[in-house]
Amino acid sequence: MKKLLIGLTLAISAAGYVHAEGDAAAGQQKAAVCAACHGASGVSAVAQWPNLAGQHSSYLFKQITEIRDGARNVPEMAGIVDNLSDQDVRDIAAYYSQQPANVGQANEELALQGRDLYRAGDVARGIPACTACHLPNGKGNAPAAFPEVSGQHTTYTINQLNAFRSGERDNDPAGMMRGIAEKMTDADIEAVAEYMFGLHGTNR
């Protein structure tokens, strides 16, 4: 477990900070095409699409440019971001980062099952606490471009953890999410995703 935590620390350092300042007003106009899936203000009405509202601009910049450049495979985004410049992406990221984050209403029983794993991990199975990167309140780490997970749709989070576990998604720094997700059961993933959904950016 100690080696795993050291690895996470090194990965956080290696992730670096993406300087992704942009013009939010310009980004609002440029994000018009995004509204069909992600909602006008970045809160998606469909749980399989991520909420972008309140997300760190550094994380959004990383993900959008990696989708554009082929480092992250999201077939549904094909053709949508292909012609965006880095400045376009910065502007869009700035716009969404300034929108009020989603407030999820989690299933309490299931969320409680995920709480301990999120907060403390599972030493015996080599699973670190999610708080190491995403913080106790789910607000993430902007300098490291680690996402805010508070209020994120449960379905989306489950899908992404499954994608990391299978290796289908592989744009995580130093493979750390893949290394964690492959140790998680379906029940673990569902419970942690539900807990994240109901965090509300607090320490509940």
- d(CA 100, CA 70) in angstroms, rounded, equals 29
Residue 109: pLDDT band by 50, 70, 90 thresholds? Answer: very high
Give residue 18's pLDDT: 45
Give residue 5's pLDDT: 46
| Percentage of residues of the chain with pLDDT beyond 70 | 88
CA angle at 164 for the pair 160 and 118, rounded to the nearest 5°: 70
| Same domain, yes or no: 64 and 34 | yes
* Cβ count within 10 A of residue 83: 8
| Same domain, yes or no: 185 and 117 | yes
| Same domain, yes or no: 188 and 142 | yes
| Same domain, yes or no: 89 and 117 | no
- List, in sequence order, the alpha helices (H) in the chain: 2-15, 24-30, 35-38, 57-69, 86-97, 108-120, 131-134, 154-166, 176-181, 186-197
Higher pLDDT pick, 202 / 143: 143
- Residue 141, CA distances (Å) to 16, 32, 52, 80 in order: 11, 27, 15, 27
Q: Which amino acid is present at 14? A: A
Give residue 3's pLDDT: 47
Q: Which domain holds residue 34?
A: 19-97
- d(CA 130, CA 35) in angstroms, rounded, equals 30
- Residue 4, CA distances (Å) to 7, 45, 65, 174, 177 in order: 5, 37, 29, 12, 12
Domain count, the chain: 2
182: closest CA among 168, 194, 171, 193? 168
Question: Is residue 124 over pLDDT 90?
Answer: yes
Q: Which amino acid is present at 184? A: M
Question: What's the mean pLDDT in 31-39?
Answer: 96
| Same domain, yes or no: 82 and 163 | no
Q: Which tens digit of pLDDT belongs to each residue from 74-89?
A: 999 989 999 999 999 9
Task: Look over the chain and give the mean of its residue pLDDT values, rounded to a whole number.
Answer: 91
User: For residue 202, is it within any domain?
Assistant: no
| Same domain, yes or no: 91 and 134 | no
Give residue 203's pLDDT: 52
User: For residue 146, is it within any domain?
Assistant: yes
Question: Is residue 111 over pLDDT 50?
Answer: yes
- Of the residues 28, 62, 97, the one at which a domain ends: 97
121: closest CA among 134, 132, 110? 132
| Same domain, yes or no: 132 and 78 | no
Q: Are 63 and 81 in contact (CB under 8 A)?
A: no
Question: What's the mean pLDDT in 17-37?
Answer: 87
Tokens 């680690």, located at residue: 146
| Same domain, yes or no: 72 and 124 | no
| Same domain, yes or no: 88 and 116 | no
| Same domain, yes or no: 111 and 92 | no
| Percentage of residues of the chain with pLDDT beyond 90 | 87
Give residue 21's pLDDT: 84
- Of the residues 47, 75, 97, the one at which a domain ends: 97
- Of the residues 78, 97, 116, the one at which a domain ends: 97
| Same domain, yes or no: 75 and 55 | yes
CATH of the domain at 73: 1.10.760.10
pTM: 0.89
Q: Which tens digit of pLDDT belongs to each residue from 46-79?
A: 999 999 999 999 999 999 999 999 999 999 998 9
